[in-house]
């Protein structure tokens, strides 16, 4: 609140309008990007992978439904949460850390990465993280670090499966 109080106390009215207008614009931009990125990623990489014969029009409808669904869930969480905005953002990035970081990084840099490893990384990271958040949130090993280690283990386990075995399954 230091900067807003400074602007309100010492800046002329036009500067206040410009500052708060820019602030609202930045907040709306970040909020839309935060909703669009996972929604489109989910629709493109998961739904489109499961339903190979979707037309562009059907995929667009799926993306719109996903954006709406994510918006409802996030809004419900925000309205019913006692957390500060900082803590809510921190929680959101924990999910990204335990589910997306390892598959993305290994997918780019590790030649043995595959779909099985990515799926195991996501599932293991999410299950371990949520379990630790519920059962031992104040443990010596933070829940998000336990989830990251589980995600890494899932990726390595999936990557060690010979490529020929993946085609047979």
For the stretch 5-50, pLDDT in tens is: 999 999 999 999 999 999 999 888 888 888 888 888 888 888 888 8
Q: Whose CA is closest to 70, among 95, 107, 98? A: 95
Per-residue pLDDT tens over the stretch 137-150 = 888 999 999 999 99
How much is the pLDDT for 72? Answer: 93
How much is the pLDDT for 32? Answer: 85
How much is the pLDDT for 52? Answer: 85
For residues 39 and 70, is the Cβ–Cβ distance under 8 A?
yes
Look at 86 and 66; give whichever has higher pLDDT.
66
How much is the pLDDT for 13? Answer: 94
SS (HEC) of 25-91? HHHHHHHHHHHHHHHHHHHHHHHHHHCCCCCHHHHHHHHHHHHHHHHHHHHHHHHHCCCCHHHHHHH
Per-residue pLDDT tens over the stretch 70-107 = 899 888 988 998 888 788 888 888 988 999 999 999 99
Question: Residue 165 pLDDT more than 70?
Answer: no
Does the CA dihedral 147-76-73-27 come out positive or negative?
A: negative
Q: What is the pTM of this model?
A: 0.68
């Amino acid at each position: 609140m230091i900067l807003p109080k400074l602007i309100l106390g010492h800046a002329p009215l036009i500067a206040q309008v410009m500052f708060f207008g820019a602030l609202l614009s930045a907040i709306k931009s970040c909020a839309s990007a935060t909703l669009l990125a996972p929604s489109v990623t989910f629709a493109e990489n998961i739904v489109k992978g499961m339903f190979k014969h979707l037309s562009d029009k059907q995929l667009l409808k799926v993306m719109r439904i996903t954006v709406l669904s994510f918006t409802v869930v996030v809004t419900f969480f925000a309205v019913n949460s006692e957390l500060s905005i900082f803590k809510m953002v921190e929680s959101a990035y924990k999910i990204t850390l335990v589910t997306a970081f390892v598959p993305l990084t290994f997918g780019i840099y590790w030649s043995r990465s595959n779909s099985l490893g990515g799926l195991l990384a996501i599932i293991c990271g999410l299950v371990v993280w949520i379990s630790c958040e519920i059962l031992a949130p104040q443990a010596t090993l933070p829940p998000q670090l336990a989830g990251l280690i589980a995600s890494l283990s899932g990726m390595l386990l999936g990557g060690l499966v010979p490529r020929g075995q993946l085609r047979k399954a």
